[in-house]
A and B are shown apart, each in its own frame.
Chain A
Amino acid sequence: MDGALLRLEHVTLYYHTPQGETEALRDLSFSVRKGEFVAVVGPSGCGKTTMLSLIMGLNRPSSGQVVFPQGPCPMGYMLQRDNLLEWRTLEKNAILGLEVQHKLNEKTKAKTLALLKKYGLGDFLSHHPSQLSGGMRQKAALIRTLALEPELLLLDEPFSALDYQTRLTLADEVFSIIKAEGKTALLVTHDIGEAVSMADRVLVFSDRPATLKREIVLAYPRDMTPLARRETPTFQEHFAAIWKELKQ
């Protein structure tokens, strides 16, 4: 496939515990193109998170391989909870990754500050996480990831800890941030609506061991925001199709 940033080739992964071994992923093959937004949906506990840590390189597949055809690709990981450090201010939290990778300098710091300001957190730089709403915190977590200028963003159910209303608005914001910054994204979720409203392409996973059941290319007008997509009949169709697929 041309333009692929990331490719999984026949990836199988066994999970070992003293009680026995579990097959988490079975013969997974798919790729993500540059600039694409791909969502993976599957039942809870089907091994989606495991797959992300595999891509991140924190784990090795039992067989098959994870390939980056265009060379090593800087990645950012966004977790379900924001995990902001309570003892740091918002600004200090945003530059944590830069600090860790010894990339903190005037330029990178200014860039991060600009991101915070651009996305509506400029007035809260010296606030501590406990003073911010859940949505703002998760946005700060995204900017902490973006500060490292990753090419590929791995989003691990980033909205599931939020209330419904925040989830919808934040999905909209995160979507436009990712598009505006020109990032490639791989979103993992069990929320069909989230996947169908945000992605260009949805991969439906089966229950454990996770296999790729179906791939659905979503046909929306370009740059339509998640909230607007939810209003379209296309959304309903895709939603129903995936719902059916998952119920089988």
Chain B
Amino acid sequence: MSYSKEHLAYLKAIRRHDRAVRLVQALVLFLFLGLWELGARLGWFDVFILSCPSRVLAAIGRLWGEGSLLTHVSVTLYETVMGFLLGTALGIILAVILWWLPFANEVMDPYLVVLNALPKIALGPVLIVWIGAGMGSIIVMAVLVSLVVTTVTVLSGFTAAAREKQFLMRTLGASKGQTFMKVVLPAGIPHMMSALKISVGMSWVGVIVGEYLVSKSGLGYLIVYGGQVFKLDLVMASVVILCLLAALMYGGVALLEKQFRK
């Protein structure tokens, strides 16, 4: 297929624009890291308090050398993935039940609103007493943080989705189960996907807070420990790793969404 000159110029302009955006994005990061490092080298601020990129890298290298980097990362990752999967699965199941039973839905409504508004983190001490100071509490915390928001998002998708299509199913003589499987569930997939995206971030919040409260390993533990003994290099290093992991996991979910959109 051959395009007109004007169209080729248009395509080129789009490509140039995209390249420019990406270039500036990289530049911002580079400038930020560069200034940070430069400031540290020139003594504009106290490295002890603000750390700097080279020291962060060194801290990561040290963790790697000690062989503990992988342990901390895998502990946190495991907790987050578990919290995310359980929170999402339970949230969706709960949403299905509430869609199915409108009476229960109405009864539960104020409770869901309050639970949604409540900072679940406040329940941390309670969880520790109930479940014990260990990984269990951390995972439950992650589940709690992601569960309610998943339920609320998916449920609103179910109830709003395709009211008229549900009526159509009635005119075709469909049972409630058929209406759910053929209309409500597929129509709710976009909502489930956005719930997934929210819940993946929420699980990280739950896990890190959980690790702040009770843990002997994990990135949250490293951050708290680093803060207590004033090893800001360690804190920054953990935050950087956390950034990368969170971005990776979000990217995975986004990819999944793209697959479903097809």
In the complex, the answer to whether A96 meets B164 with C-beta atoms within 8 Å is no
Smallest distance from the beta carbon of B169 to chain A beta carbons, Å?
A: 7
Whole-angstrom distance from the CB of B247 to the nearest CB of chain A?
Answer: 30
Question: Does A58 touch B at the CB level, under 8 Å?
Answer: yes
B71 to nearest A CB, angstroms? Answer: 44
Q: Is the CB of B182 within 8 A of A99?
A: yes
Q: Chain A residues with Cβ under 8 A from B169's Cβ?
A: 100
Closest to A144 in B: B172
A81 on interface, CB distance cutoff 8 Å: yes
- Encode B157-183 as 1/0 by CB contact (under 8 A) with A: 000001011011111111000100011
Q: Does A85 contact B (CB under 8 A)?
A: yes
Question: Beyond A79-B167, A79-B168, A100-B178, is A85–B186 a contact (Cβ under 8 Å)?
Answer: yes
Binary CB contact string for chain A from 62 to 105 against chain B (1 if under 8 A, 0 otherwise)? 00000000000000110101010101000000001101110000
- Taken together as a complex, chains A and B put the C-alpha atoms of A87 and B162 apart, in Å, by 13
Q: Is A56 engaged at the interface, CB distance under 8 Å to the other chain? A: yes
- Give A76 to B172 CA distance when docked, in angstroms: 7
**A96-126 near B? 1/0 per residue, CB < 8 Å:** 1101110000000000000000000000000
Contact indicator B164/A79 (Cβ below 8 Å): yes
Residues of B within 8 A of A77 (CB): 168, 171
Residue A148 lies at the interface, judged by CB distance under 8 Å to chain B = yes
Query: Are A56 and B172 in touch, CB under 8 angstroms?
Result: no
Q: Which of A81, A83, A99 is most buried by chain B, counting CB atoms within 10 A of its CB?
A: A83
Question: A96 and B165 in contact (CB under 8 A), knowing A56-B171, A58-B170, A148-B172?
Answer: no
A81 touches B164 (CB 8 A): yes
A178 to chain B, nearest CB (A): 17
A81 / chain B contacts, CB cutoff of 8 Å: 164
Asked if B174 contacts A100 (CB within 8 A), the reply is yes
CA distance A56 to B172 in the complex (A): 10
The 3 closest A-B pairs by CB, nearest first: A77-B171, A97-B172, A100-B174
**A contacts, CB < 8 Å to B:** 56, 58, 76-77, 79, 81, 83, 85, 87, 96-97, 99-101, 148
Q: Can you list 28 pairs linking A and B with CB atoms under 8 Å apart?
A: A56-B171, A58-B170, A76-B171, A77-B168, A77-B171, A79-B164, A79-B167, A79-B168, A81-B164, A83-B162, A83-B164, A83-B168, A85-B165, A85-B182, A85-B183, A85-B186, A85-B187, A96-B172, A96-B182, A97-B172, A99-B182, A100-B169, A100-B174, A100-B178, A100-B182, A101-B172, A101-B173, A148-B172
